[in-house]
Structure 1
Amino acid sequence: MVRYSLNNKNLLVKFEMTELDHHVSRAIREEIDEILMTKSVKNIIFDFKNINFMDSSGIGVIIGRYKKISSDKGTVSVININPRVKKVFDLSGMNKIINVCSSYEEALSSL
């Protein structure tokens, strides 16, 4: 469902499913929070390559992790976001607080 990798306090969250919705959001939120509690994470990069739909619970996953990370002066970025999901980011205002980057390298250089 989701793959995680940690590199120099940067957590990469790679979604392997196509929808980030209420069916999967709770489990993903709990997995990420467990990683944040047990590992040293400063920044999170969400890879949206496979995501073509996101509902309000998906927005909640991203915003909730942003609140946790930003309180420790970290940043949250998203990469490989398609135009449909980008529209959700824009309409929700997330694009004002979350870095939207085209690649993992760009996200790393923006930290």
Structure 2
Amino acid sequence: MYLKFDKKENILIITLSGELDHNSAEEVRVKIDDRIDRDNIEKAVMDFSGVTFMDSSGIGAVIGRYKKLSNKGGRLCVAEPSKNVNRIFELAGLYKVIKNYNTVDEAVRCI
């Protein structure tokens, strides 16, 4: 799993590439939490365009970041999930609490 961080104004954009599974979820959690804490982030967009596979550990990583930001009064959304990842989000019911956007730019404008 590869992570890339960008900031647009006060919004952290996290671009994920590869598989978000039990092998990578802990590293993803640690790196994102570190960046959120270090830069005092309250709004974040997770770009899933490069994620090829996600399992329940990945769901846990996303929910954990959502809770972390929500506890600070912030927000998290996802953008550009692949067909397979989108299906996992739908089945898990994540879209009931986390907004999904077609593009990162749309997410940045709306968050």
Q: Is the 8 A contact 2:17 2:52 kept in 1?
A: no
TM-score if structure 1 supplies the norm length?
0.92
Cα distance in 2 for partners of 1:6, 1:108 equals 10
- How many Å separate the matches in 2 of 1:36 and 1:52? 24
- What's the counterpart of residue 6 of structure 2? 5
TM-score normalised per structure 2: 0.92
Q: In the alignment, which residue of structure 2 is the partner of 1:83?
A: 83
C-alpha contact 1:54 1:85 (8 A) present in aligned 2: yes
Report how far residue 9 of structure 1 moved. Answer: 2.0
Which residue of structure 1 aligns with residue 94 of structure 2?
A: 94
Alignment correspondent of 1:67: 67
Q: 1:66 Cα shift? A: 0.2
Structure 2 stretches lacking a partner, 5+ long? none
Shift of 1:46: 0.7
- 1:34 deviates by 0.8
Q: Distance in 2 between matches of 1:102 and 1:82?
A: 10
Aligned to 1:66, the other structure's residue is in SS state: helix
**Deviation (angstroms), 1:38:** 1.1
- 1:14–1:48: 8 Å Cα contact kept in structure 2? yes
User: Is the CA contact (8 Å cut-off) linking 1:9 and 1:40 kept in structure 2?
Assistant: no
The CA deviation at 1:91 is 1.0
Distance 1:33 1:105 in 2: 23
Match of 2:26 in 1: 26
Select the structure that is richer in strand: 2
Partner SS for 1:59: helix
Aligned residue-pair number: 110
Looking at structure 2, the residues matched to 87 and 42 of structure 1 have their Cα atoms a distance apart, in angstroms, of: 27
Q: Any stretches of 5+ residues in structure 1 without a counterpart?
A: none
Structure 1 distance, partners of 2:41, 2:10, is 4
- The SS at the match of 1:46 is strand
